[in-house]
Structure 1
Amino acid sequence: MDSKGPSLYAPAGPSLDMSRSIEEESLVDGPLISADALHSAIRREFQTIPTPCHAALLSLLHVVFVVLSICLAVLCVLEFGQQEVCMSILGNVRGDSIIVFGKVCLWVLVLFFTACAQHHHSQARSRGYLRFYRQMQGLKHLPLSVHSTGNVLLLVVLAARLSTTVHTCMLLSILGIELLVALPCLIHYTVQVMRFNRARAAPDVSQEEHSHTYSVTNLPTETGFREGSSLEEVVEKQADLIEYLKQHNTLLSKRLLNLSAQH
């Protein structure tokens, strides 16, 4: 009986290992999804930022406003002819008051543009484009800062109660300087966003993974702490990265299920 016991139970070990390995292989033998197919599926999720059209329209309105303000100031405020036409069009309203009202309307449009740009850039940030978001953080708020500064200077000129000629010249000077500063900012913003839309680049995390895969030396990424970088900036970058990775993992799970069902 003792000699038969080991021989009876001896084959159970290899057969058990073989059945376990077959079960493990059956879990892995599902439909394989190529990395190119998954990458192309995720790549189609790129969404462009539509604010270049808004910036171009705002730039055009700014130029038109300054040109009309100069014509109105010269013809109706300084009274270089055409007084009857100004009286028939404006009535009892002063020409400089019309310019101030137009300046307020233009500032409101710039405020709406800044809020719209902030909304679209925040969405790009949630999709993982952290570097682009930080690059455009100050630029998209610069036109509003310029126009707000112009409003302050305009209030100072109105409160100074200068003569009509000096008052009008100061008013036109503020509008001209404001145009020379704000217009290049909007043009530069438009060019940067158009380059971003044309590049259709992958999110920052995917770019870092791709660079680490094909790089020879392991260089530190921007998500880690570097000498000379502030701790607050590093913590903010890591918070953005964690938020993006959560959304990215959800997207990957959906794409994997869809591609698995197709195969």
Structure 2
Amino acid sequence: MDSKGPSLYPQAGSSVDMSQSLDEDSLVDGPLISADALHSAIRREFQTVPTPAHAGLLSLLHVVYVVLSMCLAVLCVLKVGQEEVCASILGNIRGDSVILFGKVCLWVLVLLFTGCAQHHHSRARSRGYLRFYRQMQGLKQLPLTVHSAGNVLLLVVLAAKLSSTVYIYMLLSVLGLELLVTLPCLLYYTVKVMQFNRERAAPDVTQEEHSHNFSITSLPTETGFREGSSLEEVVEKQADLIEYLKQHNTLLSKRLLNLTAQH
């Protein structure tokens, strides 16, 4: 009994080891998900940023507003031979007041566009496109900054109580300056976002990992603190890495569920 007793435990342990090894071998021998499959799955989930249409519409409305304001100022404020027509259309409302009301409406539209762009760019950032978010951060806010500065200039002109002719010329100058700065900005923004949507690139961390795997002389990606890098940049890169790992784990979970269902 004593001689046989000890031999039972190794046999039981060996059977457990064999069953575990068989299970591990079955998992290892099973179909594994490759990096290319992960990249292609993430690429299929790419979502475009729909703000180019909004920027184009805002640019068109801005041009129409400036053109109508100039016509209104020349015909109804400076009174170049169209007093009767202006009186029949505007009634008792002054032409410069109509221009200022339109300026307020345009500023509200620019504010709505900035909020909409911020929403969609934040969603792109949460999907791992941190580099694109940084590039567009100042560009998408520039129109609102320009129009807000224009409002301040108009308040200064109103407070100065200039003559009617000088006042209307200053008003048109501010509107023209806003158009000259905002329109190229919106066009450039539209081109950059359309280029981003057309490329349908993978998230930043995926691109860095891909370039690191296929480049011999490349250094490891900077997900930690490096000399010369700011704390904000490190935190944003770590947040981008966490978001990528969440997507990675989601894809692996889906693959594991499919393999479990097959067996």
- Same fold by TM-score, threshold 0.5 exceeded? yes
- After superposition, the Cα gap between the structure-2 partners of 1:259 and 1:48, relative to the gap in structure 1 and judged at 3 Å, is farther
Distance 1:238 1:61 in 2: 41
Other structure's SS at 1:76 match = helix
CA distance in 2: counterparts of 1:257 and 1:19, whole angstroms:
20
Q: Does 1:136 align with 2:122?
A: no
Q: Shift in Å at residue 31 of structure 1? A: 3.7
Give the alignment's Cα RMSD to 1 decimal.
2.7
**Deviations for 1:147-191, whole angstroms, at most 9, x for unmatched residues?**
000000011111111111100000000000000001111111111
Q: What is the rounded CA distance, in whole Å, between the counterparts of 2:24 and 2:261 in structure 1?
A: 23
1:67: Cα distance to partner?
A: 0.3
Describe the SS at the equivalent of 1:221. Answer: coil
Contact 2:46–2:200 (8 Å) recurs in 1? yes
Question: Is 1:87 matched up with 2:87?
Answer: yes
**What residue is the counterpart of 2:106 in the other structure?**
106
Structure 2 counterpart SS, 1:202: coil
d(CA) in 2 for partners of 1:258, 1:91: 72
Q: Does residue 88 of structure 2 align to residue 53 of structure 1?
A: no
Percent identity over the alignment is 74
Question: Partner residue of 1:251?
Answer: 250
Q: 1:90 & 1:231 partners in 2: Cα distance? A: 57
Q: How does 1:176-255 map to 2 (within 5 A)?
A: 176-242=176-242, 244-245=243-244, 247-255=246-254
Which residue pairs with 1:123 in the alignment?
A: 123
Aligned twin of 2:21? 21
Shift of 1:14: 11
The CA deviation at 1:239 is 3.3
TM-score by length of 1: 0.89
- After superposition, give the CA deviation of every residue in 1:171-212 in whole Å (9 maximum; x if it has no partner): 000000000001111111111101100000000111111011
Aligned-residue offset at 1:219: 1.7
How many angstroms apart in 1 are the aligned matches of 2:239 and 2:171? 46
Contact 1:33–1:259 (CA under 8 A) maintained in structure 2? no
Runs of 4+ in 1 over 6 A off after TM superposition: none
Q: Is the 8 A contact 1:38 1:255 kept in 2?
A: no
Amino acid at match of 1:251: T
CA shift for structure 1 position 143: 0.5
Change (3 A) 1:81 1:220: farther
Matched residue type, 2:128: G
Q: 1:118: Cα distance to partner? A: 0.3
Give ranges in structure 2 of 5+ residues lacking alignment: none
Aligned counterparts of 1:108 and 1:181: Cα–Cα separation in 2: 18
1:260 aligns with 2:262: no
Contact 1:66 1:175 in 2 (8 A): yes
1:62 paired with 2:62, answer: yes
Q: In structure 1, how many angstroms separate the alpha carbons of the residues matched to 2:238 and 2:38? A: 25
TM-score under structure 2 length normalisation: 0.89
Q: For 1:217 and 1:174, how far apart are their aligned partners in 2? A: 53
Please show how residues 136-175 of structure 1 align to structure 2 within 5 Å.
136-175=136-175
Query: Which whole-Å deviations, capped at 9, do the CAs of 1:212-261 have from their partners, x for residues lacking one?
Result: 1101023243433333322233233323433x135324532443246536
* Alpha-carbon distance in structure 2 between the residues aligned to 1:211 and 1:94: 63
Greater mean deviation of Cα atoms: 158-167 or 226-235: 226-235
What stretches of structure 1 of length at least 5 have no aligned partner? none
Moved more, 222-231 or 139-148: 222-231
Give CA-to-partner distance per residue, 1:89-111, whole Å, 9 cap, x none.
Answer: 00000000000000000000000
SS at match of 1:151: helix
Tell me the secondary structure at the aligned position of residue 139 of structure 1.
helix
> Structure 2: how far apart are the matches of 1:257 and 1:22?
18
Counterparts of 2:158 and 2:112 in 1: how far apart (Å)?
26
1:222 to 1:153, Cα distance in 2 relative to 1, 3 A: farther
